[in-house]
Structure 1
Amino acid sequence: MDSFNSVVVGPKLSNLKNLSKLCLYCSPLREIQLDGLELLRDLSVERCKFLEGLSVISSSMRKLCKMVVWDCPKLLEIRFRSVMESLKVLKVDSCVSLGGLYGLSNSKKLTNLEIQMCNGLRVVEGLEELELLSFLSVKWCESLERLIDVSNSKIPNECTIRVWVCGKFPDTYRDDIRYRDYREMILGRTGKTFNEEYEMEENGSIHCFICILECIC
């Protein structure tokens, strides 16, 4: 694979068709697209220093249960382009350039999602569609702008939530709490922010009014 910048790992590589476990370690590839691999159950992508894009493009990967992406410093995005029927565990760790995790709504059976030390991560797309999620851990993702849309979320109330140092999202302070409580924390912070902005506007208006009165006098 050293001579390629991009490769589709799948049906064209006939010797991989019966693979159940695949670890891509220290690959020099810049892009990896996963297609086929109907028997694959466990996937690891580790220490791929040049990897920029990782896509799952085929719904034929029906047996994939676990996916781990670790220490890929140039990885910009992870995309699930098709329905993942069996994916239950997804872990992403130490991918400092990762800007977005897209298509989680295609992984309806996901129960465990762990993301940590991805300081460039801004968007986690489709998380609110995960009706079977039982554990969510997001830590040290300081640029995070989008995580959960609580106004339209299907995440179970009993899902365990752990959020540390993630942009504007409330911190659970090293405790694990239920999603129903975390949702209230988000709503409370949104309401507080709105009230603070309103008070600032009101105070600004009063200050301007006082200045006008002083000028008139």
Structure 2
Amino acid sequence: MLENLEELNLSEHDEMEGEIPIGIGELSSLRILNLQCTRICRIQRTINMLHHLQTLNLRDCHVIEVLPEFPTSLTSLLLESNSLLSVPNLSNLTNLVELLLSDGSRNTGKSNLITGCNLWWIGRLSRLKRLDLNLLNFPTPSELASLSDLEELTLSHLALETLEKLPSSLLRLIVKFFRIRRAELLPSCLILSNLSTLEFCSGEVEDIPLDGLPLLENLTVHDCKLLQRLSIPLELRKLRQACVACCPELVMIEVGGLLKSMESFSILRCVSLRRVGGLNELESLKYLTVRECTSLESLFDASCTNIADDCHVDIQVCGDFIKDFAASYQHEIYSKRYGEMNFLDTSNKST
């Protein structure tokens, strides 16, 4: 009877520990096997007998050290383990569309991987559309450039010095826990004509070039501790949403004029930020949020702003003047009212 079973979901069962029974290979019709958040430490080689298996979920299986050979039928493989000792050779899984490989360093900041492992085989997975690599200090494989169908890519904790080029097919790119202080390699890597979403998180970088991204719609820059200036160029004519947060050394943000597509702009907890240039021209802006930027001196010139009357503005804890003013309107005000009051108040102070 079990030979007809197509889906087996054992996720979140802490009592699941030890080895997967050798009889797993007898579930000949199994298509989906979900073992997320279990304590299994070993997967039997008989799993390779599951010729119809398409999805194998091993997220948060932090006791697994090594892996057997998997059936070539797999289209989705999700693996995350703090105990992982080596990165398996997955060159035979040419049907994979989705792949997560994580040594758990995203949460722990450390890895048990044996040095010398590499991902030379990843270029053979030509059908990949979604790839998430979280491998501490692992060289970024140059073979990524050959994945012509890849649409979503997340790189966490990898050494980016070996990154040469990314596939132009990318629609979404997330880079986390990285170190490139002067972003010397980023310009050539970020010429991505189809990219719509870009996120930089927890990186040591002094500059983030944003040229060569004509279709970018969503931009997030978070916890980049060395970043001092950020320029959003006019070339990003499709940009609709931008969020800059927790960048303690950031002094200035410059927004290219006539970015008519920008609808939402958030700036949060950038304590050294003094100036945001170019906000005047954001005529399509619907939401402006600025919070806990305690060194902020100016946002826009209220006497000539093109920001729409119905733009929702939320400003909190941004220096004594703005903080007190925002508080009197319960932290939520409209741009024209804010602009007029700000401009008049500045005039009064000068007399």
What is the identity, as a one-letter code, of the residue corresponding to 1:192?
N
What secondary structure sits across from 1:188 in the alignment? Answer: helix
| Residue of structure 1 equivalent to 2:254 | 102
What secondary structure sits across from 2:235 in the alignment? Answer: coil
What is the identity, as a one-letter code, of the residue corresponding to 1:22?
L
Contact 1:56 1:81 in 2 (8 A): yes
| Residue of structure 1 equivalent to 2:315 | 163
The whole-number CA distance in structure 2 between the counterparts of 1:94 and 1:3 is 22
Consecutive unaligned residues of structure 2, counting only runs of 5 or more, are 1-139, 141-158
Q: 1:148 to 1:66 in 2, by over 3 A?
A: same
Consecutive unaligned residues of structure 1, counting only runs of 5 or more, are 196-217
The whole-number CA distance in structure 2 between the counterparts of 1:21 and 1:164 is 31
Q: 1:169 to 1:128 in 2, by over 3 A?
A: farther
Contact 2:302 2:340 in 1 (8 A): no
What secondary structure sits across from 1:56 in the alignment? Answer: coil
Once the two structures are superposed, what CA deviation does each residue of 1:54-97 show, in whole Å capped at 9, x if it has no partner?
A: 12123xx2221100111111111111234212100000111011
Equivalences, count: 186
**Offset at residue 117 of structure 1 (A):** 0.4
RMSD: 2.1
Q: 1:36 aligns with which of 182, 191, 200?
A: 191
The whole-number CA distance in structure 1 between the counterparts of 2:281 and 2:331 is 24
Q: 1:36 to 1:106 in 2, by over 3 A?
A: farther
After TM superposition, the structure 1 = structure 2 runs for residues 42-191 of structure 1, keeping only pairs within 5 Å, are 42-48=197-203, 50-58=204-212, 61-105=213-257, 107-167=259-319, 169-171=321-323, 172-173=326-327, 174-191=330-347
The whole-number CA distance in structure 1 between the counterparts of 2:222 and 2:286 is 22
Q: 1:87 to 1:3 in 2, by over 3 A?
A: closer
The whole-number CA distance in structure 1 between the counterparts of 2:239 and 2:182 is 21
Superposition misfits of 4+ residues, deviation over 6 angstroms: none
Pair 1:21-2:150 in alignment: no
The whole-number CA distance in structure 2 between the counterparts of 1:116 and 1:139 is 5
The whole-number CA distance in structure 2 between the counterparts of 1:167 and 1:76 is 19
The whole-number CA distance in structure 2 between the counterparts of 1:90 and 1:165 is 20
Once the two structures are superposed, what CA deviation does each residue of 1:90-116 show, in whole Å capped at 9, x if it has no partner?
A: 001110110111134253311100001
Q: 1:131 to 1:82 in 2, by over 3 A?
A: closer
Give TM-score scaled by structure 1 length. 0.78
**Offset at residue 168 of structure 1 (A):** 5.5
| Residue of structure 1 equivalent to 2:83 | none
Greater relative contact order, per chain length (Cα 8 Å cut-off, separation 6+)? 1
Contact 1:160 1:179 in 2 (8 A): yes
The whole-number CA distance in structure 1 between the counterparts of 2:298 and 2:172 is 32
What secondary structure sits across from 1:147 in the alignment? Answer: coil
* Identity over aligned pairs, percent: 26
**Offset at residue 185 of structure 1 (A):** 1.8
